[in-house]
Amino acid sequence: MKKKLLLAEDEPLAQQRILAILKKSRPDWEVVTLVNRVSELSDALKYSENYDLILCDIHLADGLSFTAFKGKKVEVPVVFITAYDQYALESFEHNCIDYVLKPIQEERLLRAFDKVCKYSDSSWSESILDQISRHFPAKIYKKRFLAKIGSRLVFIPVDQIAYFYAEDGITFLVESGSSQKYIVDFSLNDLQLDQLDPKIFYRINRSFIINLDHLVEMKPYTNGRLTLSLKAKTDSPIVVAREKVNEFKTWINQ
């Protein structure tokens, strides 16, 4: 059966991948609207009844796609496609019928398409949510870190950490108030993806992850960036990368 699709995806390679899979396996399904920004998605969702299915990345060029769904009555099934598993449960607040992780595997995306065809409007929510909850149980994040200073090992509670930063291949955590820094045995990627609660910690650039609870102030900086003040001293300005500014503002307002 022919279906009209809305595709929200800001990565060109992911766009091409999805379109290629559709052309090969669902040639009667047509992407009639393609957007890559939250603002564009928000406009498209005003007319969600024009679509039979929405394929949606969570991290778009100007923030989280969830923002576009707020305040709108969307009754069309949504398949979220993302590199992050921590948003799985939240996605079901927005008519999600499946949650596909990147890198996109053709077989996995086709299973999502099969679900779209299988479930009627009245039977999605509970059955699909139960399935996803089993695959993506509530994630448990670290409450404290074993850190090193000199020859000593100490435990630092997460709520006392102002920020993490990486320098010369070494990752440091910096304690709020005292500004004492400690070495931790995790890369920033490990911290971002597996160890830290994304509702509290945010990676503002390649070298820094900050704790929202210890953010004091932010100010405009050069080239459209932001500079942050935290409850800890820094040797140089803590700067939000320009491409992250809009998403960072959205994250703060969550």
Task: Rounding to the nearest 10 degrees, give the CA dihedral for residues 114, 116, 117, 118.
Answer: 80
- CATH of the domain spanning 144-252, picked from 2.40.50.1020, 3.40.50.10420, 3.40.50.700, 3.20.20.100: 2.40.50.1020
CA-wise closest residue to 218 among 209, 226, 207: 226
Q: What is the gyration radius of the CA atoms in the chain, in angstroms?
A: 21
| Beta bridge partners of residue 227, listed in sequence order | 219, 239
What's the pLDDT tens digit per position in 86-136? 777 778 778 888 899 988 999 999 999 998 888 654 455 555 555 555 555
**pTM exceeding 0.75:** no
- CB–CB of 205/225 below 8 Å? no
What's the pLDDT tens digit per position in 142-151? 999 999 988 8
> Is the confidence at residue 254, as pLDDT, over 70?
no
In this chain, the answer to whether the domains covering 3-135 and 144-252 adopt an identical fold is no
pLDDT at 194: 81
C-alpha distances out from residue 175 to 18, 79, 148, 188, Å? 44, 40, 13, 16
Tell me the mean pLDDT in the region 231-236. 88
Task: Rounding to the nearest 10 degrees, give the CA dihedral for residues 37, 228, 210, 214.
Answer: -120
Tell me the mean pLDDT in the region 209-223. 93
pLDDT at 129: 52
Mean pLDDT of the chain: 87
Fold of 3-135: Rossmann fold (3.40.50)
Domain residue extents for the chain:
3-135, 144-252
> Is the confidence at residue 6, as pLDDT, over 60?
yes
